[in-house]
């Protein structure tokens, strides 16, 4: 660790601890706020006793909001980390699982599983989500690798946009041809934490846990890749193996997240830039900050979506599109936020 990083470590550590506290606060808001407000004491009683107490508030807390909140935390962390890892390995400040086609591949395979194979539970189609993410990753990387320069950041971005458009078109075609399952697919495709019960959380939690741990271990590798391929090799990093390993981590995180909640965009794009703005270019700090900032953004958007449209709600995927578009423009407009 450099002298500057060592000097800033206590401050960065305190900031990270503050973000984790904020995650806890937003988690409690997620448990108590919505179309039905629940008193803090009632929510705590249900959590501490793991019993609903034969009350509607206890039932809503344990059966609906606890799984939804847990999923918001782990999926937010997964999306934030996947964006940070992808931007690091491609050295492209505009890379994220949505733009690079990974979410589109996962979404297409999940839609096919629902429409043509009759698979409706997440334990079944989580495998299709990860398979679709993997296929999209291979296609994007293969296309970008064609030519003399190899897989440059610009070619990866262009290939990702092309694959996203192609897979999105096929997904729309599948939805049109299967009107009997259109409502189910349409609700999932919006991107939402609503209606995700305990089986959904248990179905994706092992995959997300493995992916999060693996992503946090990529800091040194991403720091080396940020210096360029020659410098990375000089540090003893096998560049090709490192790229495929990190792409596998992104595939695991994005595939499982998309299978559980649908294609949620902009989190993986914006979160790494916020982390980089706070802690600088060291991925040993960017990754933990992305881990903490992802749940903050996702839970906050979910709570706001529930409050602004009572007694209904705005799905988190829709709200993030509304808020993420200006953030995306800001990233493009102020390039200093995108410096790797």
CATH of the domain at 181: 1.10.3470.10
- pLDDT at position 244, please? 85
- pLDDT at position 90, please? 85
Q: Is the pTM of this model over 0.85?
A: yes
Residue 322 within any structural domain of the chain: no
Percent of the chain, pLDDT > 70? 94
Compute the distance between CA of residue 30 and CA of residue 267 in angstroms, rounded to an integer.
18
Least confident residue range of 21-25, 90-94, 127-131, 303-307? 90-94
165 falls in which pLDDT band (50, 70, 90)?
Answer: very high
Compute the distance between CA of residue 277 and CA of residue 79 in angstroms, rounded to an integer.
18
Number of H helices, E strands in the chain: 15, 0
Residue 226 within any structural domain of the chain: yes
Long-range contacts of 37-45 (CB under 8 A, 24+ apart): 38/65
Q: Which domain, by its residues, includes 125?
A: 3-314+331-338
Compute the distance between CA of residue 31 and CA of residue 44 in angstroms, rounded to an integer.
9
Compute the distance between CA of residue 261 and CA of residue 99 in angstroms, rounded to an integer.
17
Q: What is the mean pLDDT of the chain?
A: 86
Number of domains in the chain: 1
At 216-228, the pLDDT tens digits run: 999 999 999 888 8
Bond before 311 cis per omega within 30 degrees: yes
Residue with tokens 């086609």: 101
> What's the token pair of residue 47?
């959590």
Residue 245 within any structural domain of the chain: yes
Residue 165 within any structural domain of the chain: yes
The H or E element spanning position 82 is helix 66-90
Residue 9 within any structural domain of the chain: yes
- Least Cα distance to 143 among 168, 164, 171, 121 occurs for 164
At 239-289, the pLDDT tens digits run: 888 888 998 999 899 988 988 888 888 899 889 988 998 888 899 999 999
How much is the average pLDDT of 203-210?
91
- pLDDT at position 283, please? 95
User: What SS3 class is residue 278?
Assistant: helix
Residue 338: is its pLDDT beyond 60?
Answer: no
Contact 126, 68 (CB under 8 A): no
Residue 321 within any structural domain of the chain: no
At 137-149, the pLDDT tens digits run: 899 988 988 877 7
Residue 325 within any structural domain of the chain: no
- pLDDT at position 3, please? 59
- Least Cα distance to 218 among 255, 253, 257, 246 occurs for 246
Residue 319 within any structural domain of the chain: no
């Amino acid at each position: 660790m450099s002298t500057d990083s060592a000097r800033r470590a206590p401050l960065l550590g305190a900031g990270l601890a503050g973000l984790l506290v904020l995650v806890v606060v937003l988690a409690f808001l997620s448990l108590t706020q919505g179309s039905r407000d629940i008193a803090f004491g009632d929510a705590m009683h249900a959590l501490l006793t793991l019993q609903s107490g034969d009350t509607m508030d206890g039932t809503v807390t344990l059966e609906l909001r606890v799984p939804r909140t847990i999923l918001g935390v782990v999926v937010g962390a997964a999306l934030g980390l996947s964006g940070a890892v992808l931007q690091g390995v491609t050295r492209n400040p505009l890379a994220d699982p949505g733009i690079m086609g990974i979410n589109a591949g996962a979404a297409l395979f999940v839609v096919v599983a629902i429409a043509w194979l009759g698979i409706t539970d997440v334990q079944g189609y989580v495998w299709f989500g990860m398979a679709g993410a993997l296929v999209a990753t291979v296609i994007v990387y293969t296309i970008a690798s064609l030519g003399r320069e190899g897989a440059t950041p610009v070619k990866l971005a262009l290939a990702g946009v092309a694959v996203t458009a192609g897979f999105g078109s096929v997904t729309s075609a599948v939805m049109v041809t299967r009107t009997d399952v259109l409502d189910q697919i349409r609700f999932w495709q919006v991107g939402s934490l609503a209606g995700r019960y305990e089986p959904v959380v248990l179905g994706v939690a092992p995959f997300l846990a493995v992916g999060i741990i693996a992503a946090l271990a990529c800091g040194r590798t991403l720091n080396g890749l940020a210096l360029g391929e020659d410098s990375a090799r000089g540090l003893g990093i096998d560049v090709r193996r490192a790229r495929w390993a990190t792409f596998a981590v992104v595939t695991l995180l994005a595939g499982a997240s998309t299978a559980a909640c649908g294609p949620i965009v902009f989190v993986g794009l914006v979160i790494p830039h916020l982390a980089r703005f706070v802690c600088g270019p060291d991925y040993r700090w960017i990754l933990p900050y992305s881990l903490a900032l992802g749940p903050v953004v996702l839970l906050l958007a979910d709570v706001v979506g529930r409050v602004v449209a009572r007694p209904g709600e705005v799905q988190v995927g829709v709200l993030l599109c509304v808020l993420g578009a200006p953030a995306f423009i800001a990233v493009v407009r102020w390039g200093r936020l995108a410096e790797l």
